[in-house]
Amino acid sequence: MFFSILNIKALMKRYYIEYRQLVSAFFFGDVLERIMFFIAFGMGLGRAVSQIDGVDYITFLAPGIAAGSGVFIMNIATTYGVNNRYEGSGIWNSWLSTPIRLQDILISELIFDSLRAAPSLFILYVVAYFFGAVPSVEGAMLTIPILVLANMVYGVITLNMGVYLGRMLYFRYIQALWVMPMYLFSGVFFNIDETPEWMQLFANVFPLYHVLEIVRPMVLGRPVDMNSVLISFIVLSAIFVVGFYVAYKQFQKRLFD
């Protein structure tokens, strides 16, 4: 097989030890900021915008913040985090001197960073629930695994961008030209259907938009269009597989050539 389960398990354990040590920094970074955003925008804009898409603004916002948070976490982890491991501390080199192979490292990195977001999503939903912003609790819980998978897609894209740009100095372009536009134009804060047509077309470029199309109706307890879910799932899976292969090739070139 392309991956070695044994190797992935060993790496997961290593990531978990690091996570346990830094859990408070992760916690504040991941969870608290999202909750602050949620409460501030939900309350602040909530009074200016009474109803959006047929619900209170804060209810509309909850799935947006939930789905959007992974984009930032995955970006930092797959650019700065990964670069630090293969250039800064150089520990990838030490791993590669053992039976662990490049593909095992890459997939473990993506899986672990994606999973890391799950607890913070849960906490965010709990907070949102107390604000009465979670109409369908089962729906919200079901979105957690979906969003973890979505994180893998965001992660593989920024992983490619990071290794292509190569130097930390350039990583802020990823933030400026990809992450922020995606966050601001995928419908986290407002309903894309009500924006000008060019903005609606633009939104289609971003995976976050497609993820939100699935996740928001689930949290709002509305019927989900299964056909569009299937299409989105296929497209996102294809992006992941192709993205992973390209990233693998890029890293092979960068590390071994």
Partner 1 sequence: MAVIEAQNIQKSFGEFKAVKGVDFQVPEGTCVGLLGPNGAGKTTTMRMIMGLSALTAGSLKVFGVPVDKVGRSEKMRIGLVPQEDNLDPDLSVRQNLEIYGSYFGLEKSYIKERADSLLDFMQLSEKEDNRVNHLSGGMKRRLIIARALIADPEFVILDEPTTGLDPQARVLIWKSLLKLKEQGKTLLLTTHYMDEAQRLCDNIVIVDGGKVLDEGSPKELISKHVKNNVFEVQKPIPADLEKSDIDHEDIGDSVLYYVNDPEKVQGLLGKNATYMQRVSNLEDVFLRLTGHKLRE
Partner 2 sequence: MSIFVKTVYALWYRHFSTWKSMFWSSLTSNVFNPLLFLFSFGFGMGALVESISIDAAEIVYLAYIVPGMMAYSGMFTSSFETSISAFARYYMQSYWDQVLATPAKLHHLIWGEVSWAATKAMFAVICVMVVGYVFNGLELSWNVLWTIPIMLLGCLCFAACGMVATSFATSFEIFSYFFTFWVTPMFIFSGVFFPIDRFPEYVQWLSNALPMTHLVDVIRALCVGYELTALAYVYKLGYIAFITALAYGVAYRNMKKRIFD
Of these partners, partner 2, partner 1, none, which one is at the site of residue 130 (CB under 5 to 8 Å by kind)? none
Q: Using the rule CB under 8 A, which residue among 26, 37, 57, 95 binds partner 1?
A: 95
Sole binder of partner 2 in the list 189, 206, 244, 248 (CB under 8 A): 189
Q: Is 142 in the site for partner 1 (CB under 8 A)?
A: no
- Is 202:185 a contact under the CB 8 Å cutoff? yes
Q: Which SS3 state, helix, strand or coil, does residue 55 take?
A: strand
Q: Which does 197 bind (CB under 5 to 8 A by kind): partner 2, partner 1, none?
A: none
Residue 32 binds which entry of partner 2, partner 1, none, CB below 5-8 Å type-dependent: partner 2
Measured CA to CA, the distance from residue 137 to residue 199 in angstroms comes to: 31
Interacting residue with partner 2 among 4, 10, 14, 41 (CB under 8 A): 41
Examine residue 50 and tell whether it contacts partner 1 (CB under 8 A).
no
CA 86 to centroid of chain Cα atoms? 22
Distance CA(8)–CA(29), nearest Å, equals 26
What tokens appear for 40 in the block? 């501030």
Of 153, 158, 166, residue with least CA distance to 78? 158
Question: What is the C-alpha separation between 130 and 65, in angstroms, rounded?
Answer: 16
Residue 93 engages partner 1 in binding (rule: CB under 8 A): yes
- How far is it, in rounded angstroms, from Cα 160 to Cα 17? 26
Q: Which of residues 44-103 bind partner 2 (CB under 8 A)?
A: 44-49, 52
Our measurement of the distance from residue 213's CA atom to the centroid of its chain's CA atoms, rounded to an integer in Å, reads 15
Q: Which is nearer to partner 2, 17 or 235 (CB)?
A: 17
46 versus 63: smaller Cβ distance to partner 2: 46
With CB under 8 A as the contact rule, which of the stretches 27-35, 97-105, 152-160, 210-218 interacts with partner 1? Answer: 97-105
* Smaller CB separation from partner 1, 49 or 96: 96
Site for partner 2 in 10-29 (CB under 8 A): 22, 25, 28-29
Alpha carbons 257 and 252: distance in angstroms, whole number: 7
The two tokens of residue 27 are 């916690």
